[in-house]
Homo-oligomer: A and B are copies of this chain.
Amino acid sequence: MKSREIHLNAYLKGAPKKENYSVVETELPAPAEGQVTVRNLYISVDPYMRGRMSGIKTYIDPFKLGAVMEGGAVGEVVESRFEGLKPGDHVMSMLGWREAYTASGKAVQKIDTSLLPPQAFLGIAGLTGLTAYVGIRRIIDLQAGETMWMSAGAGAVGSAGIQFAKAMGANVVATAGGQEKCDYLKTIGADHAIDYKATDDLTAAIRAAVPEGVDGYFENVGGTHFTAALNTLKQFGRMAACGMIQRYNDAEPASITDNLTFIVGKSLKIQGFIVSNHLDIQPEFIKDLSNWMMAGKITPAETIMDGIEKAPEAFTGLFAGLNKGKMLVKI
């Protein structure tokens, strides 16, 4: 069985370019004892992967050059010599940007697709949803009746977080780039939707929507968004810093207006987090998510590109804001 996969050719400086990736066709071995062969249905592209493409060790190792890029994927077992998995089973793996693979059965996780479609496990019911949940529940500790600002509201984490915050009884102001996305934010429940591209004073735009300011800010963007957040957070406000996509492709450090004294003056708390350090919250997440889904409060949101060769384009599209909800590549 043949599989096409995406390799990283060279580490990136600045924006990702086409020549950094290549499509390589391989012949898969039949599964040995303890192995399975899986045909992927969807693969996930995520902003955090940009860090792994820089060749610098952060909280996670860089991608290996000339090898398949790792990342979340869901697929269907086609052949199994691993006890507990049979053809037709759906599985999730971190085995990345490839059409199919043969691997140890221990490297995959069986998923229950009776309630949710397989691709939801890459989105709202997977690490994406869990990321939103950790930021809102554990870092911001959002209370019913409070106001939360979700940045990159139309993104994968953002669109999940807006729905979670609404389900928790909060007032939600969400930002995104462009009118089309703002219309979308309304459909997933945001009380206020602000097109940050249509204003050169984001602080004023947030204040116009929520004059009292915000109790919590979910940071996905950085830069001018961060500045506006410090301006608009109330006393004792909390910021969950999940990502700063505006900064990831900087080749040189940018500069920013220094309004950091608000951290002192308003007794703010700003906390960065990586979802993998908070996996202990998963049972609570699954319980809340199930209740919210049964109450009809959650709509999975996806943008889908077709074909493994589109994976680099889908990834680059994250930075251009091409996605509404979770960006997936369908195999």
Contact = CB atoms under 8 A, between A and B. Distances in A.
Interface string A217-257: 00100110010000000010000011110011000011111
A307 B149 CA distance: 51
B59 A258 contact: no
Question: How many copies are assembled?
Answer: 2
Contacts of A266: 59, 272
A188 B262 CA distance: 31
A67 to B, nearest CB: 23
A267 interface: yes
A2 to B, nearest CB: 38
A271 interface: yes
A12 interface: no
A58 interface: yes
A262 B59 CA distance: 11
A127 to B, nearest CB: 15
Contact of A258 (B58, B255, B262): B255
A307 to B, nearest CB: 31
Given A256-B255, A258-B222, A261-B244, A271 B272 contact: no
Given A256-B256, A267-B273, A222 B261 contact: yes
Given A59-B235, A235-B59, A267 B274 contact: yes
A64 interface: no
Contacts of A256: 255-258, 260
Given A253-B258, A253-B259, A269 B270 contact: yes
A76 B13 CA distance: 67
Given A257-B255, A258-B254, A272 B263 contact: yes
B244 A260 contact: yes
A160 interface: no
Interface of A: 51, 58-59, 219, 222-223, 226, 235, 241-244, 247-248, 253-274, 277
Given A248-B261, A264-B273, 9 more contacts: A223-B258, A255-B256, A256-B256, A256-B258, A263-B272, A264-B272, A267-B272, A267-B274, A268-B271
26 contacts: A51-B265, A241-B260, A241-B264, A242-B264, A243-B264, A244-B264, A247-B258, A247-B260, A253-B258, A255-B255, A255-B256, A255-B258, A256-B256, A262-B272, A263-B270, A263-B271, A263-B272, A265-B272, A267-B273, A267-B274, A268-B270, A268-B271, A269-B270, A269-B271, A269-B272, A270-B270
